[in-house]
A and B are shown apart, each in its own frame.
Chain A
Amino acid sequence: MTDTWPYLDVHQSRTHEPTPYEHKLAATLEEVFTEEGHELADVVRGLTSRQVHAADGTPWTEESFRAEMNRLGA
């Protein structure tokens, strides 16, 4: 923790630099929210049709997406 004035830090909410997987998931999620809708089913469909899968390569289900968001957004 620095004592020098001024404290100007863009990122104050992160615990780590996002991984390439997290970056891609976030960017695609924004696109899906914009183009497909805001329901969980829209999200799963939108990610799948864009070939953006879970970290282990499997296609998203509502349950797996929810679990992953709870992990990344805790």
Chain B
Amino acid sequence: MTLSTSATADHIYATGLRNQWHAVVPSHFVAPGAMRKVTVLGEQWLLFRRSDGTLSMLADRCPHRGAPLSLGKHLGDRVACWYHGVEVETDGTVSSVPGLPGCSLEGKKLVTSLPVREVAGAILAYFGDEEHPEPAALTLPEPLTDPEVSAFLCYAEWNVPWRYAVENLLDPMHGAFLHHESHTMSDGDTTAKFRIRETARGYFFEKTDQRGVNFDWVELCRTGVDWVDLSIPYPPSAGPGGPFGIVGMACPVDEQRTGVFFWRYRRVEDWQRASWRFLYRTLIEKRHWDVLEQDRVMLESMPVDADQQENLYQHDLGVVRLRRLYRAAAEAQSSAGA
């Protein structure tokens, strides 16, 4: 097992929470018949896809002497380690030790294999520690499953701690400043009062005095996977269909790196849906990207000790709440095995 219950709370807080699902990479990063090495929660993993499309995820560590399986060979339904040829099946079972047939390693499940799901173009995996190997119940974000909603995934890799990426989403007020020169967020007041509204699955952080003008609210949802939902108005040029929404997730890669997933979605049907999708591909995607780059540039420029020397005010309540929640979860997970 690679995810240990003996990890410290600091380590878990820095590299990502266990015992829940996380988005890993877009589905198309692993072609049929291919493998891909990925880092998640500070650990090395191997995504392995059969030619029929079936996906599995293994710890990237040979059960013999620890060589990366990702350097090995894809054998269709198993991987052969390059070092001494040990073969591992997609559920983590050693199927053969070519150098010593009949060796006692054969038939043993010695490699961690994570439960995986593919959702709206992304690979989700369950990262349980050794005390919690069974996957947590997963409720998918409804904008990604509702047939009346159309969505595009945008994935990007940022050199920031995962918490900074999530905190940025629980900080709606930056929309009116950082994104003031954007295609969607030039309107609205630059002063606001916020409140936290608890829900069964997380909480809203929202302006009390403005809605539907800028980035005015966000909901943190903890449904087996952590995600945020928010909505931002489009200008009339985007055509009929109202505002667009974002479902956001962050993949904790390691202490300094994060994969961010943003599904831009819109509740649109028929020709309105088709014309938005056409405009998105041709013109709008680039403008959304420019906004995201503003976030990346700002977050990557933050000093490493940014969250050690702050003077917070009322707009930061959403961030404070988030940190408290994640810190408590990290503490609980670090002592789970004690």
Name A's B-contacting residues (CB within 8 A).
1, 3, 5-14, 18, 22-23, 26-27, 29-31, 33-34, 38-40, 43, 65-66, 69-70, 72-74
- Complex CA gap A17/B239 in Å reads 22
Specify the chain A residue showing the minimal Cβ separation from B296: A8
Closest A-chain residue to B152, C-beta based? A13
Compute how far the CA of A18 lies from the CA of B283 in the bound complex, rounded to whole angstroms: 10
Check if B239 sits within 8 Å of A33, measured CB to CB. Answer: yes
Among B28, B158, B274, the one with the most A-chain Cβ atoms within 10 Å of its Cβ is: B274
Q: Which 3 A-B pairs have the closest CB atoms?
A: A73-B274, A73-B277, A6-B157
CA gap between A33 and B283 in the complex, in Å: 14
In the bound complex, do residue B37 and residue A34 qualify as a contact, i.e. CB atoms below 8 Å apart? no
Q: Beyond the given A18-B281, A22-B278, A73-B277, please list 10 additional residue pairs across the A-B interface where CB-CB is below 8 A.
A: A6-B157, A7-B157, A12-B153, A12-B154, A12-B285, A14-B281, A29-B239, A34-B236, A34-B237, A38-B239
Q: Is the CB of B159 within 8 A of A6?
A: yes
Contact call A26/B237, Cβ cutoff below 8 A: no
Q: Could you tell me the distance between the alpha carbons of A70 and B116 in the complex, rounded to whole angstroms?
A: 33
Say whether B327 faces chain A, with CB atoms less than 8 Å apart: no
Which residues of B, 209-268, contact A by the 8 Å Cβ criterion?
A: 235-240, 257
User: Across the interface, which residues of B come within 8 angstroms of A66, CB to CB?
Assistant: 270-271, 274
Closest B residue to A14 by beta carbon equals B281
Q: How far is the CB of A55 from chain B (nearest CB, A)?
A: 13
9 contacts between A and B (CB under 8 A): A11-B285, A12-B26, A12-B155, A18-B282, A23-B282, A26-B279, A34-B236, A38-B240, A72-B278
- A73 vs B275: C-alpha distance in the bound complex, in angstroms? 6
What residues of A have a CB within 8 angstroms of the CB of B281 in the complex?
A: 11, 13-14, 18, 73
Give CA–CA (A58, B331) in the complex, Å: 67
Indicate whether B11 reaches chain A with its CB closer than 8 angstroms: no
Selected from A3, A12, A31, A33, the residue in CB contact (under 8 A) with B152 is A12
| Neighbouring A residues of B37 by C-beta, 8 Å | 3
Residues of A within 8 A of B83 (CB): none
Taken together as a complex, chains A and B put the C-alpha atoms of A65 and B270 apart, in Å, by 12
Cross-chain contact A69 with B278 (CB below 8 angstroms): yes
A7 touches B156 (CB 8 A): yes
Inter-chain contact A34/B276, CB cutoff 8 Å: no
The answer to whether A13 touches B271, judged by C-beta atoms less than 8 angstroms apart, is no
